[in-house]
Amino acid sequence: MYPKVRFRGFDEPWKKVKLGRNVKRIRRKNKNLETNIPLTISAQFGLVDQRDFFGRVVASENLANYILLKRGEFAYNKSYSKEAPYGSIKRLEKYNEGALSTLYIAFTPENINSDFLKAFFDTTKWYSHIVQVSTEGARNHGLLNISPQDFFEMSITIPKSDEQNNISRIYNLMNSLLSLQHRKMELENQTSKAIYNYLFDKNKPFYFKDNKTKKVFLKELGTTYSGLSGKNKTDFGHGKAKYITYLNVNKNTIANHNLLDLIEIDKKQNEVLNGDILFTISSETPEEVGLASLWPYDDTNIYLNSFCFGFRPNSKINNLWLAYELRSLKIRKNMYKLAQGISRYNLSKKSVLNLQVDVPSDAEQNFDSKFVKLINIQTKFLSNERNELLLLKKFLLQNLFI
């Protein structure tokens, strides 16, 4: 048996072994309360303190009957989710020790490289065994019914130790690169947010010779129109026209050209034009009401979903600048106050049109919008880099293992 991708110099076939022959089950209890950290397993974050993950302790008060897990040891969480359809197997790395419920299956590597084993459980190669030996617990919905004996009967295919070491090194390198990229994106986002808030603050530390900022009501800058009306669920998902989804408006200051759904051409509906600014008008939280998004494309037969309304600026304003301005912190604070409701929050067009914006000179509008656009390009570039690294890691994991 050979993997699809292999390091040069290795040509011996891999051998199939039982997991239980290469790991040792951990049964030790936290009877002397060596640790007071109650652990849980997150598919995304691994073994973490319940207090950090849930904001509270969900374990019983007495941790003495819990498994005492030490750094470098593994545990299997039989609870499944969309992110982890067959549960999660993670290694304790964040703490020296932690207490884990006996519902988990804990084990430590023996005669196998620990990093190699961690990388293996980061693939989907072990899913097939779980499918074969597990059923959903009748009393515990969402919990796979699998015994420790069946779990340790899992077959894994492994190479000799030198090849395990090489695979471990490249796996750790990929994780280090992703960690650095994540940190780089965090710093970039913090910097971008700070610059954005400065640019769209009326007291910003930039000086323009022709600075003539003035307060203007939004209704002086354009007119509004409604989204789709008179439609039912059978009208969506087909047709030669398209409509801009609520999520598209919610998530993007500049609308995503790909987040469109199909609908039939209907000349009675308001068509979205290049330069229009779209607002969310309804949401379950006040923070998501009145979010603005610019539509900068020339497509025809484009409509707007019914939970948003459109705003068509006049020629007196830079549309891109206005879109950024309407997402600025000071405008968002004023927008929150306009949201009305209890379980669902709504806005009236009239209240939005009565909002005041600080409109600077044309030169300053152009400067602000171009500057923010450059920042967004850099942020998108970093995000694309991260996605490429994730794809490379996924490729390696699926092809370095059997």
DSSP calls for 137-166: -SSSTTBEE--HHHHHT-EEEE--HHHHHH
Helix (H, G, I), strand (E, B) or coil at 298: coil
Q: What is the average pLDDT score of the chain?
A: 87
Identify the band that residue 284 occupies on the pLDDT scale cut at 50, 70 and 90: confident
d(CA 370, CA 163): 51
Q: Which residues contact 50 (CB under 8 A, 6 or more apart)?
A: 38, 39, 40, 56, 57, 58, 59
Is-contact 202 329, C-beta < 8 A?
no
Q: Which residue has the higher pLDDT, 156 or 61?
A: 156
Pairing of β 214-217 and β 356-359: antiparallel
Stretch 372-380: mean pLDDT, rounded? 80
Does residue 141 register a pLDDT over 70? Answer: no
Does residue 184 register a pLDDT over 80? Answer: yes
Stretch 291-305: mean pLDDT, rounded? 93
**pTM for this prediction:** 0.66
DSSP structure class, residue 189: H
d(CA 262, CA 183): 38
DSSP structure class, residue 124: S
Q: What pLDDT score does 117 carry?
A: 96
Q: What pLDDT score does 139 carry?
A: 42
Does residue 205 register a pLDDT over 70? Answer: no
Q: State the DSSP H helix or E strand holding residue 17, giving kind and residue range, or none if neither.
A: strand 15-18
Identify the band that residue 138 occupies on the pLDDT scale cut at 50, 70 and 90: very low
Pairing of β 236-244 and β 302-304: parallel
Q: What pLDDT score does 232 carry?
A: 85
Residue 292 bridge partners (DSSP) = 279
Chain segment 117-131, per-residue pLDDT in tens = 999 999 999 999 998
Specify burial of residue 116 (Cβ count, 10 A radius: 0-12, 13-18, 19+): buried
Helix (H, G, I), strand (E, B) or coil at 3: coil
Chain segment 32-75, per-residue pLDDT in tens = 999 989 998 888 888 988 887 777 666 666 888 899 999 999 99
Is-contact 327 298, C-beta < 8 A?
no
In the chain, % of residues over pLDDT 70 = 94
Stretch 91-109: mean pLDDT, rounded? 93
Chain segment 248-264, per-residue pLDDT in tens = 999 999 999 988 999 99
Residue with the two structure tokens 């709504």: 346
Does residue 376 register a pLDDT over 80? Answer: no
Q: Which residue has the higher pLDDT, 113 or 210?
A: 113
d(CA 188, CA 383): 11
Chain segment 221-247, per-residue pLDDT in tens = 999 999 999 988 888 889 999 999 999
Minimal CA–CA distance to 346: which of 355, 357, 356, 335?
Answer: 335
Residue 106 bridge partners (DSSP) = 75
Is-contact 277 319, C-beta < 8 A?
yes
Q: Which residue type occupies 179?
A: S
Burial 211-244 (b: 16+ CB within 10 A, else e): eeeeeeebeebbebbebbeebeeeeeeeeebbbb
Torsion angle defined by CA atoms of residues 354, 347, 303 and 379, in that order, rounded to the nearest 10 degrees? 80
d(CA 298, CA 201): 31
